[in-house]
Amino acid sequence: SAHVSFEGRRRVFTVSNQKGGVGKTTTTVNLAAAFAHMGATVLVIDLDPQGNASTALGVPHSAETPSVYDVLIGERPLAEVVQTSPESPSLRCAPSTIHLAGAEIELVSQVAREKRLSSALSSYLEGAGSDVDIVLIDCPPSLGLLTINAFSAADEVLIPIQCEYYALEGLSQLIGTVTMIQKHLNPDLVLSTIVLTMYDGRTRLSQQVAEEVRAHFPDQVLAAVIPRAVRVSEAPSFGQTVLAYDGQSVGAVAYREAALEIHRRGSAQQGGDATVGADE
Ligand code: ADP
Ligand code: MG
């Protein structure tokens, strides 16, 4: 596999879209696995009460499991809830539990309610997580306080867009929220990356949606496109990412390409070294 240097800037992404079922979780866990394959140490923060990212990474997240809920509400250090995915020693996950479903409401009365995740993540990255290169935060399908916490904690917003009808619908609301966050909570936040998901090259519709999104966001949309593929949807029921489940499948290849492209673009932006060497 191609190993890449992640020395230098750490990157924190929030994977967001207030629509459900567009591929947020799938993109989070598979990019995380792809980055880990490339040699990065990766942390996934599961902010969706459904816990699908935790499931896909093979990480326990029953009601008793210490989770992101305890971090946001109970002020437990992030280091105490982070688990290692059985898939790779360099792939970690802060799981979500069902308790997180109440957090959106419980957070309302908390001090610095928008910054709870940001503070917890900063402490972690200064301590036990100092070796982490990439953080990916999987958001719930809403623009509530959990997503706002993710936006406050991140440097970059990554939006998965499903190549379907109404792909762009709701996007202005999402971008409006990002702008609000930039103004009031996190001036450094950038909408850096858009990933087209569930692309079906046989349909005119997928092609049209891809063209339309590229026309609106020429600098954000990745050249790598994630195809609709059965192996991608099967992997989570085995508690695996598609990279572990079927590493040669089109979905696995596409997510590896996407991760490599994100890395190259990031390195180019910081004027850094984006060289990739084959180590095997
Ligand atoms: P979200 O997190 O935005 O709700 P998911 O990542 O859970 O979306 O994806 C929604 C559904 O679509 C899931 O059942 C998932 O397995 C499936 N899916 C996502 N990406 C693909 C893909 N590239 N090919 C086939 N199925 C996919
Ligand atoms: Mg999800």
239: phi then psi, degrees, rounded to nearest 5: 65, 35
- Residue whose pair of structure tokens reads 């190549």 in the numeric block: 163
Task: Examine residue 275 and state whether it is found in any structural domain, yes or no.
Answer: no
Which of the ligands is closest to the CA of residue 29? 1
Is 175 domain-assigned? yes
Q: Output the pLDDT for position 24.
A: 98
Q: Is residue 155 part of a domain?
A: yes
* Structural domain contains residue 274: no
Nearest CA to ligand 1 atom 6: 23
Decide if 255 contacts 30 (C-beta within 8 A). yes
pLDDT digits (tens, 9 = 90+) for 40-91: 999 999 999 999 999 999 999 999 999 999 999 988 999 999 999 999 999 9
Residues in the chain: 280
Q: Indicate whether 278 belongs to any domain.
A: no
Candidates 54, 49, 15, 39; CA nearest to 226 is 15
In angstroms, what is the span from residue 222 Cα to ligand 2's centroid?
20
pTM exceeding 0.90: yes
CB atoms within 10 A of CB 247: 16
Structural domain boundaries enclosing 214: 2-269
H or E segment and range at residue 11: strand 11-15
Strand order in the sheet with 11-15: 83-84, 91-94, 42-46, 134-138, 11-15, 156-162, 190-197
Is 141 within 8 Å of 19 (Cβ atoms)?
yes
pLDDT category at 18 given cuts 50, 70, 90 is very high
In this structure, the residues whose C-beta lies within 6 A of any atom of ligand 1 are 20-26, 52, 141, 197-198, 226, 228-229, 232-233, 251
Q: Band the pLDDT of 270: cuts 50, 70, 90.
A: low
Whether 264 is covered by a domain: the verdict is yes
- Closest residue (by CA) to atom 18 of ligand 1? 233
Which residue's alpha carbon is nearest to atom 17 within ligand 1?
A: 233
Question: What's the complex ipTM?
Answer: 0.99
Give pLDDT tens digits for 201-244. Answer: 899 999 999 999 999 999 999 999 999 999 999 999 999 999 99
Question: Mind listing the pLDDT tens digit for each residue in 97-111?
Answer: 999 999 989 998 888
**Number of domains into which the chain is organized:** 1
Q: How confident is the model at residue 278 (pLDDT cuts 50, 70, 90)?
A: very low
| Cα 120 from Cα 62, distance rounded (Å) | 22
Alpha-carbon dihedral sign for residues 78, 134, 12, 243: negative
- Assess contact for 255 and 226: CB atoms under 8 A: yes
Q: For residue 165, what are the CA distances in angstroms to 18, 117, 207?
A: 16, 34, 11
Output the residue whose Cα is nearest ligand 1's atom 19.
23
pLDDT of residue 9: 85
Q: How would residue 271 be classed by pLDDT, with cut points 50, 70 and 90?
A: low
**CATH number, domain containing residue 110:** 3.40.50.300
Q: How many whole angstroms from 272 Cα to the centroid of ligand 1?
A: 33
Q: Answer whether residue 276 is part of any domain.
A: no
Among 118-127, 138-147, 269-278, the range scoring the smallest mean pLDDT is 269-278
Do residues 94 and 67 touch, judged by C-beta distance below 8 A?
A: yes
Tell which residue, 38, 39, 41, 32, has the closest CA to residue 13: 32
Domain presence at residue 213: yes
Q: Nearest bound ligand to CA 228?
A: 1
